[in-house]
Amino acid sequence: MREVKVFVPGKIILSGEHSVVYGYPALVASLSKGITVKLMEGKGKKDYKNDEIGLIRKAIGVAGGKFNGLDLKIESDLPVGAGLGSSAAIAAGVIKAVKKLNGKKISDEKLFDLTMECERLAHKNPSGVDPAAVIYGGLIKYIKNKGLVGLKTKKTVKFLLFDSGKPKETTGEMVELVEKRYKSGTKKVEEIFKKIWSVTETIQLNLEDDKKLKKLIDENGKLLESLGVVSKKVIRLSQDLRKINCGVKITGAGGLTGGSGMVLVKSLGYSKPKKFLEDRGYKTMEISIGD
């Protein structure tokens, strides 16, 4: 029996969380870690436990497959609901695998459109930044409804990621929370978005300058904290990391109850922040973007 296998990477957002939903640009990069979808014709066995919202069923359907006629297994290096694009990667991977099993090719543009249909199920009002990142890969600048531009760096840029804990709120709920504040005019949300926009543009110009990048990542992090999408626990932890000369920001929609998902750390050296975090029980991961 024929089996197909498809790998789709996860992503991190360097700058532009939440503001990207309202047409402001975001800088995003794909990761070496991601999800692998294995698919074959069968009796409909689904070896994946985190599909309460029916994302896999939706992805199989939009790809033209039959949910009960496919055996599917998903292997993932990405924590679910932590801001690394797991839902977009799963949807894109399943769609691509169904098409491949049926002997059909799918363009990146079409894959993006179908993945967006699935993202609306997961996130209600998605910007499209996650599908763009996991489908096109690399380092990109993305603007909702306008498309993306691929970016290059002359050197590898290193970061540290750590998992602050899965928030109780979903990405969709965090997007709705910001939308309510945006529409009500509280917290001067649009003013914060414009400041994030300025940081995004400045980061693009300074990707290869570690000192400036550290400062800009931290500025973005503080703006997201002022937006009200970071839990008190993670704000306190970020403040402690800043005391040891780190730039800190959430990477994703955030969360208020418990953790805020994955957090991005930029430093001129990672042994000290890594030890600081691991001594407190946080799992860390060093990542690199660019050439």
The strand pairing partners of 216, in sequence order, are: none
pLDDT at 141: 97
**Do residue 170 and residue 265 come from a single domain?**
yes
Same domain, 11 and 136: yes
Residue finishing a domain among 129, 151, 173: 151
Instruction: Print the domain residue range for 118.
Output: 3-151
Q: Which residues lie across from 266 on neighbouring strands?
A: 247
Report the Cα–Cα distance between both ends of the chain, in Å, rounded. Answer: 40
What does the pLDDT read at residue 81? 72
* pLDDT at residue 83 in the model: 82
CATH number at residue 144: 3.30.230.10
Distance, in Å, from the CA atom of 66 to the CA atom of 205, rounded to the nearest integer, reads 47
Torsion sign, CA atoms 183, 187, 191, 196:
negative
Residue 49: per-residue pLDDT: 66
- Look up the pTM and report it: 0.90
In a shared domain, residues 162 and 145: no
Residue 21 has a pLDDT of 93
Arithmetic mean of pLDDT over the chain:
92
- Same domain membership, residue 124 and residue 189: no
Check whether residue 9 and residue 104 sit in a common domain. Answer: yes
Q: Are residues 146 and 174 in the same domain?
A: no
151, 184, 203: which is the final residue of a domain?
Answer: 151
- 100: Cα within 13 Å, side-chain hemisphere: 17
Provide DSSP, 152-163. --SS-EEEEEEE
As for how many domains the chain has, the answer is 2
Per-10-residue mean pLDDT of the chain, 291 residues long, equals 90 96 96 93 73 84 85 87 87 96 94 94 82 96 95 92 92 91 84 97 95 98 97 97 98 92 96 97 91 61
Same-domain check for residues 72 and 134:
yes
What is the reported pLDDT for 186?
65
Domain match, 119 and 164 both: no
Token duo for residue 219: 């500025």
* pLDDT recorded at residue 65: 85
Per DSSP, the three-state class of 264 is: strand
Helix, strand, coil share of the chain (percent; to 5)? 45, 25, 30
In whole angstroms, give the CA distance from residue 146 to residue 94: 26
d(CA 97, CA 62): 12
* CA-based R_g, the chain, Å: 19
Give the pLDDT confidence of 180-220 residue by residue, as tens digits.
Answer: 999 887 669 999 999 999 999 999 999 999 999 999 999 99
Nearest to 59 by CA among 30, 31, 86, 83: 86
